[in-house]
Amino acid sequence: MQIRIGDATITRIEEMFDTSFSPNGFLVGHDPEEFARHLHWLMPNHVEPSTGNLVFSMHSWLVRTPRHTVLVDTCIGNDKDRLPRQHWHQLKNPYLDKLRAAGVAPEEVDYVMCTHLHPDHVGWNTRLDNGRWVPTFPKAKYVMGRIEFEAWKGAKNVAPIRARAFADSVLPVVEAGRATFVEDGHVIEDGFTVELAPGHSSGNAVLRLASGGRQGLFVGDVLHSPIQVLHPDWSSVACEDPLLSAASRRRVLESCCEHRALMLPAHFGAPYASYIVEEKGAFGLEWLKLHA
């Protein structure tokens, strides 16, 4: 799957699919009857027919501009202790082979963008080498929001799975001198800008790409499921501040409408990316047509 935005080429690098979350358990404040009304289009790519659970794709977005190669979010990773999520635990996934098949070796990545520091977004930041966690992308700058990192560094009573991810997938990058801490509005290169969208986490960010008169918006976990486009007030149980998350979600959707920006989330099932349309104050999806 390749997408063109101006001079940039975007490729989805798939790690795995997760169907362990039920709508009732994951979507805060959702209406089951309203959710059921949309099952005809949510199945099978966004809701698993056999279980009724949400379908989450775990993938990165590989972006190649004329100047740089950027990897947006790095999924769960191999060899990581991710219990109690057994299906995330000690993975042996050919993720790096898929990256190479897309034409990029780990040594060729210039930037790794961490939209936030949850375990399913930082895992491939590091790999296990003789018992030590080392940066997977040895020449890359790992871009992290300063607010996000400081919040995690000083956090207490963090869920063990999140604490382990911070220890094995974030701190080794920092200790290796590969991390770059940024503020709202940081420019990676001309037309590639970090924008804060807090709520899911305190320093949650999105990445805006503008090239050739077109835009793309890599929104990370501002949304998990396309049903949240229709109902932006439905946050997730993983959101630190559901109300702030909903406000950021609405602002991102409005921006996608205003700029005709292609929205590229971290977890949508096929076709993975969408334009956003607005009519009478309600949002809708205009799915990207996949050609490969």
- Please list, in sequence order, all residues whose beta carbon lies within 8 angstroms of the beta carbon of residue 111, skipping any fewer than 6 positions away: 68, 69, 70, 71, 140, 141, 142, 143, 188
φ, ψ of residue 179 to 5 degrees: the values are -90, 140
Residue with tokens 């709202």: 184
At residue 148, φ and ψ (nearest 5 deg) are -60, -50
- Of the two residues 225 and 290, the one the predictor is more confident about is 225
Q: What is the pLDDT of residue 291?
A: 56
Q: Residues, the chain, total? A: 292
If one compares 155 and 231, the residue with the highest pLDDT of the two is: 231
Q: pLDDT tens, 74-118?
A: 999 999 999 999 999 999 999 999 999 999 999 999 999 999 999
pLDDT cut 90: percent of the chain above it: 95
CA 149 to chain centre: 17
Query: Tokens in use for 193?
Result: 């800008």
Measured CA to CA, the distance from residue 277 to residue 44 in angstroms comes to 23
Region 13-35: what's the mean pLDDT?
96
Q: Which whole number is the average pLDDT over 22-36?
A: 95
Phi, psi of 202 (to 5 degrees): -65, -30
Averaged pLDDT, 230-257? 97
* DSSP string across 122-139: HGGGEEEETTEEEESSTT
* pLDDT confidence of residue 292: 44
End-to-end CA distance of the chain: 5
Instruction: Pick the closest to residue 133 from 92, 95, 77, 61 (CA basis).
Output: 77
Q: Residue 146: which H helix or E strand, with range? A: helix 146-153
Kindly report the CA angle at 257 between 229 and 61, in degrees rounded to 5? Answer: 70
Q: Which two tokens stand for residue 258?
A: 């205003």
Q: Which amino acid is at 32?
A: P
Residue 290 predicted with pLDDT over 80: no
Query: With 80 as the cut, is the pLDDT of residue 168 above it?
Result: yes
pTM for this model (two decimals):
0.96
Write the DSSP symbol of residue 110. Answer: -
Q: In the chain, what's the furthest Cα-to-Cα distance?
A: 58
Domains by residue range for the chain, with CATH: 2-287 (3.60.15.10)
Amino acid symbol at 11: T
Residue type present at position 93: N
Say how far apart CA 117 and CA 158 lie, in whole Å: 12
Cβ atoms < 10 Å from Cβ of 136 = 27
